[in-house]
């Protein structure tokens, strides 16, 4: 599904990522654990193709990033990302935001028409219903939504993209514990096989439900093992000072 | 079925359709070879020391006129601004009606373009440097006064009330409570006005008031394109230096100080600002001396030629509906062109960084190049008329709007655009949805304001003929038919005030209740 080999991303002083290997199989749910600044966001940016590593290989569904613009866009359309800051377009309606996830497949007529009339309402309503949101929200401007609704609309947009690989960058960071647990269950449930999920976290208390954990420290993979095998010592090393 | 904001900002570009359909009928193409020579000369400007020396002298005179006119406009603006503020009158213990009255009176000098001021003063005072300085200072001063008064009346008054309650005398309380919060707005707007003053000084030169503008027009008319480009590149260098300097000062003085530096920051910035103001005064005197501006010259104006008796019948016989109609049409076409083309051009070049750099250079040249010169250049290819004038005016304002669009879009950050790119959308689609959507309303609101400015500016392209009030005014000025001039200026002012009212309303509608409340006022703060 996703294969990264020997990834290196230079930084100002130390490299942001160094010799990182990662393999994600269909149906797998993997948590990316590490302190802030460990390189989790950088790794996700490499995984969704926004950042080109200085060295190393990226394979999406076994294929390297295409050179042609069009083919490359098709590949990226199959990777959905949930951003910590959501990145919804405040000025547009919920439906226009959901449809923005289809731009990779749309030509200019539909790109412009989406800004004028409601397009593909049934498909949009469907993703909203999957997230327990009322389809009557479709016409509302995003700026008018509550915090919880926005979070769900952002997930709905990711689903509307129909991705096979789901990436999420600290989606639980700014939520209270109960909301965070609910949202995590939702994301885990959405990543049904053959979809795969890679989710970055900085709190180690939410690992239940994942298949594997990858610990990242100072741009390097410190460990990679099943959730059951992650113990306190390992976490102490992951979050410990600069270490020897 | 209201189009979403990003689509709304592209709709004005539809004016291209009728424009392109009409173009063939206006095309004579007689000067095609000249246009080729003109374009080629851009990369081989004249480096002749004699030419350069004369052009540098011209730049100096233009810059001097701009700085003097600008400084005077700030002084006038601050004084009149305070005098037309309701808060100030109320605090001084009076009724706010004098503020209202002054505000209305100031609308008149503001609604008359600096070129009209320049040409009328030229008739009254004869050709001397003070004419250009006054022509800039008067309308700009009235504009600054309005902005200052608006700023003063929207500032929170708690601090003022607290000081008054503590027994501070009114003038001291006003200065202490309202002075510091006024400063950022004044600096930001003042910096922007300096750039406008440089553009205006160049424009006035094109109409014979001296400086680089005059040289540009002469080289253009004698088809010395290589010398023309030397002047243009020089002016571009000056303009970009000025813009960068103003932006730098704005950042240094107005940006919230970074963490940890806050303690020392405020006092230091305050001292620097006062120092800069103190330097400005002797600098102004030196510049005035170098230019030969003498205030005493104002007192001994040359005797006017004996004025003929007014011929009101002839004034009434002017084709008023047609004049007003063409002026409005010219404004609308030029405004649509400028507002719609900026995002469209950006969308077209989005996938190629090199093309984007080229577009920015083009915009810089367009806002620098005085519209009447563009009009003269277009006459090599097109018939004189409304279309040619609209193109000249529209292209000039495109340069201004384009820069504003780029700046405000960059300020809003790239996160949304990145998110769309990451999901596989194309560079142009991501730009439209992720970058342009968040700034669309503020941009359109600025466009509405700009349209109002363009209405005033229609006079500067009057020389290509058949453009309504502007060209009629030029004609009446050259025959010094003072009765016609009076009537034309009055109608122009009336039209501008009406336009101002309409554009204000459009702006409020665009900005009310829309997603970006924090972006909009700051946008307009620089621009009103």
Kindly state the DSSP code that residue B55 receives in the 8-state scheme.
H
User: For the residues of B339-403, what is the DSSP string, one character each?
Assistant: HHHHHHHHHHHTT-HHHHHHHHHHHHHHHHS-HHHHHHHHTTTB-SSHHHHHHHHHHHHHHHHHH
The answer on pLDDT for A219 being more than 80 is: yes
Q: Decide if B40 is inside a domain.
A: no
* B378 located within any domain: yes
Nearest to A101 among B421, B423, B514 (CB): B423
User: Residue B338: pLDDT above 90?
Assistant: yes
Which chain B residue lies closest to A108 (C-alpha atoms)? Answer: B429
Q: What is the mean pLDDT of residues A1-28?
A: 91
Check pLDDT > 80 for residue B525.
Answer: no
Higher-pLDDT residue of B226 and B184 is: B226
pLDDT higher than 70, residue B297: no
Give the whole-angstrom CA distance, residue B429 versus residue B421.
9
**Residue B391 banded pLDDT, cuts 50, 70, 90:** very high
**Would you say residue B526 has pLDDT above 80?**
no
Query: Are both B58 and B12 inside the same structural domain?
Result: no
pLDDT at site B93: 76
Nearest to B419 among A87, A92, A93 (CB): A87
Residues 325-364 of B with CB under 8 A from A: 351
Asked whether B38 and B381 are in contact (CB, 8 A), the reply is no
Residue intervals of chain A classified under CATH 3.40.50.300 are: 1-78+164-244
Helix (H) or strand (E) holding B109: helix B97-111
Mean of per-residue pLDDT scores for chain B: 84
Q: Judge if B294 and B407 occupy the same domain.
A: no
Q: Which tens digits make up the pLDDT trace of B363-379? A: 988 988 889 888 888 88
State yes or no: pLDDT of B521 exceeds 50.
no
Q: Domain spanning A1-78+164-244: which CATH class is it, in words?
A: alpha beta
In this predicted structure, which of A45-49, A117-121, B88-92, B263-267 has the lowest mean pLDDT?
B263-267
By CA distance, what is B421's nearest residue in A? A50
Instruction: Compare A3 and B1 and report the one with higher pLDDT.
Output: A3
Q: Which of B274, B298, B322 is the last residue of a domain?
A: B298
Residue A184 scores a pLDDT above 80: yes
Q: End-to-end alpha-carbon separation of chain B, Å?
A: 31
In a domain, B307, yes or no: no
Residue B38 lies in a domain: no
CA atoms within 13 A on the CB side of B501: 8
CB contact under 8 A, A89 and B438: yes
Q: Which of B10, B340, B419 to mutate to test the interface with A (most CBs of A within 10 A)?
A: B419
Nearest chain A Cα to B5, which residue?
A91
The pLDDT assigned to B519 comes to 35
Mean pLDDT to the nearest integer, B249-270: 57
Determine the structural domain holding residue B251 and report its residue range: 45-257+265-298
pLDDT value of residue B257: 45
Residue B492 pLDDT: 86
Residues facing residue A24 across a β-bridge: A2
Above 50 in pLDDT, residue B522? no
Instruction: Extract the tokens encoding A224.
Output: 């990679």
The answer, yes or no, to whether residue B470 has pLDDT greater than 80, is: yes
* CATH number of the domain residue B213 falls in: 1.10.3720.10
Q: Vertex A226, ends A223 and A227: CA angle to 5°?
A: 100
> For chain B, what percent of residues have pLDDT higher than 70?
91
Q: Give, as one character, the DSSP assignment of residue A3.
A: E
CA quadruple B163, B168, B173, B176: dihedral positive or negative? negative
Cross-strand partners of A3: A23, A59
Q: CB–CB of A196/A1 below 8 Å?
A: yes
Assess whether B88 and B224 both reside in one domain.
yes
Contact A104, A79 (CB under 8 A): no
What residue of A is the nearest CA neighbor of B7? A115
Does pLDDT of A126 surpass 90?
yes
pLDDT of the residue at B259: 42
Domains: count for chain B: 2
Does the pLDDT value for residue B486 go beyond 50? yes
| Domain assignment present for B180 | yes
Tokens 């014979």 belong to which residue?
B208
**Segment 96-155 of chain A within 8 Å of chain B by CB:** 96, 100-101, 103-104, 106, 111-112, 115-117, 141-143
> Contact at 8 Å (CB) between B106 and B142?
yes
Place of tokens 């008739």: B123
Residue B306 lies inside a defined structural domain of this protein:
no
The pair of three-digit structure tokens given for residue B386, joined into one six-digit string: 């409304």
The interface pTM score, or ipTM, of the predicted complex is 0.89
8 A C-beta contact, residue B392 and residue B464: yes
Contact B429 A111 (CB under 8 A): yes
What is the average pLDDT across A64-68? 89
């Amino acid at each position: 599904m996703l294969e990264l080999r020997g990834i290196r991303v230079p930084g100002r002083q130390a490299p942001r990522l160094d010799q990182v290997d990662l393999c994600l199989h269909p149906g797998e749910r993997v948590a990316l654990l590490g302190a802030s600044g460990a390189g989790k966001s950088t790794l996700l940016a490499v995984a969704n193709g926004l950042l080109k590593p200085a060295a190393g290989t990226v394979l999406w569904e076994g294929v390297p990033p295409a050179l042609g613009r069009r083919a490359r866009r098709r590949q990226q359309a199959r990777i959905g990302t949930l951003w910590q800051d959501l990145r919804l377009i405040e000025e547009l309606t919920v439906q226009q935001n959901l449809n923005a996830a289809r731009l990779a497949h749309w030509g200019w007529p539909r790109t412009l028409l989406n800004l004028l009339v409601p397009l593909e309402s049934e498909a949009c309503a469907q993703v909203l219903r999957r997230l327990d949101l009322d389809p009557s929200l479709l016409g509302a401007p995003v700026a008018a939504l509550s915090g919880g609704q926005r979070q769900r609309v952002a997930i709905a947009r990711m689903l509307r993209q129909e991705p096979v690989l789901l990436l999420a960058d600290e989606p639980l960071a700014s939520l209270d514990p109960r909301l965070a647990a609910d949202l995590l269950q939702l994301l885990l449930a959405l990543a049904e096989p053959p979809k795969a999920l890679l989710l970055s976290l900085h709190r180690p208390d939410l690992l239940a439900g994942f298949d594997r954990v990858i610990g990242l420290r100072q741009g390097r993979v410190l460990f990679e093992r099943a959730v059951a095998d992650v113990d306190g010592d390992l976490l102490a090393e992951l979050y410990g000072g600069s270490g020897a | 079925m209201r189009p979403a904001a990003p689509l709304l900002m592209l709709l004005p570009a539809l004016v291209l359709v009728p424009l392109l359909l009409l173009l063939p009928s206006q095309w004579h193409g007689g000067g095609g070879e000249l246009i080729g020579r003109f374009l080629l000369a851009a990369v081989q400007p004249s480096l002749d020391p004699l030419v350069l020396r004369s052009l540098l002298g011209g730049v100096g005179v233009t810059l001097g006129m701009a700085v003097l006119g600008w400084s005077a406009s700030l002084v006038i603006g601050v004084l009149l601004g305070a005098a037309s503020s309701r808060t100030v009158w109320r605090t001084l213990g009076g009724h706010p009606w004098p503020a209202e009255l002054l505000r209305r009176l100031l609308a008149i000098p503001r609604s008359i373009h600096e070129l009209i001021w320049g040409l009328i003063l030229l008739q009254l005072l004869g050709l001397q440097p003070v004419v250009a300085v006054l022509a800039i200072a008067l309308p700009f001063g009235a504009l600054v006064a309005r902005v200052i008064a608006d700023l003063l009346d929207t500032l929170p008054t708690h601090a003022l009330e607290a000081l008054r309650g503590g027994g501070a005398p009114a003038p001291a309380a006003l200065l202490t409570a309202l002075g510091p919060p006024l400063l950022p707005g004044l600096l930001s707007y003042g910096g922007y006005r300096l750039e406008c003053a440089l553009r205006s000084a160049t424009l006035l030169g094109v109409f014979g008031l001296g400086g680089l503008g005059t040289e540009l027009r002469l080289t253009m008319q004698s088809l010395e394109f290589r010398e023309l480009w030397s002047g243009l590149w020089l002016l571009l260098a000056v303009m970009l230096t000025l813009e960068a300097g103003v932006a730098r000062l704005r950042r240094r003085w107005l940006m919230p100080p970074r963490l940890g530096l806050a303690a020392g920051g405020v006092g230091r910035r305050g001292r620097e600002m006062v120092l800069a103001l103190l330097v400005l005064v002797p600098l102004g005197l030196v510049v005035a001396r170098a230019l030969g501006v003498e205030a005493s010259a104002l007192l001994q104006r040359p005797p006017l030629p004996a004025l003929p008796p007014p011929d009101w019948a002839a004034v009434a016989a002017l084709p008023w509906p047609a004049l007003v109609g063409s002026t409005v049409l010219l404004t609308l076409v030029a405004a649509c062109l400028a507002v719609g083309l900026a995002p469209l051009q950006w969308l077209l070049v989005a996938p190629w960084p090199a093309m984007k750099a080229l577009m920015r250079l083009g915009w810089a040249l367009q806002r620098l190049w005085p519209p009447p010169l563009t009009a003269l250049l277009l006459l090599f290819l097109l018939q004189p008329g409304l279309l040619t004038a609209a193109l000249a005016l529209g292209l000039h304002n495109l340069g201004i709007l384009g820069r504003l669009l780029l700046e405000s879009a960059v300020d809003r950050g790239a996160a949304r655009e990145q998110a769309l790119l990451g999901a596989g959308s194309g560079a142009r689609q991501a730009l439209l949805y992720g970058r342009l959507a968040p700034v669309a309303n503020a941009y359109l609101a600025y466009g509405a304001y700009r349209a109002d400015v363009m209405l005033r500016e229609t006079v500067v392209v009057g020389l290509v003929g058949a453009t309504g009030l502007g060209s009629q005014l030029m004609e009446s000025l050259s025959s010094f038919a003072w009765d016609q001039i009076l009537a034309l200026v009055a109608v122009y002012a009336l039209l501008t005030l009406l336009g101002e009212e309409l554009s204000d309303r459009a702006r409020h509608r665009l900005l009310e209740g829309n997603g970006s409340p924090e972006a909009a006022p700051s946008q307009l703060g620089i621009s009103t």
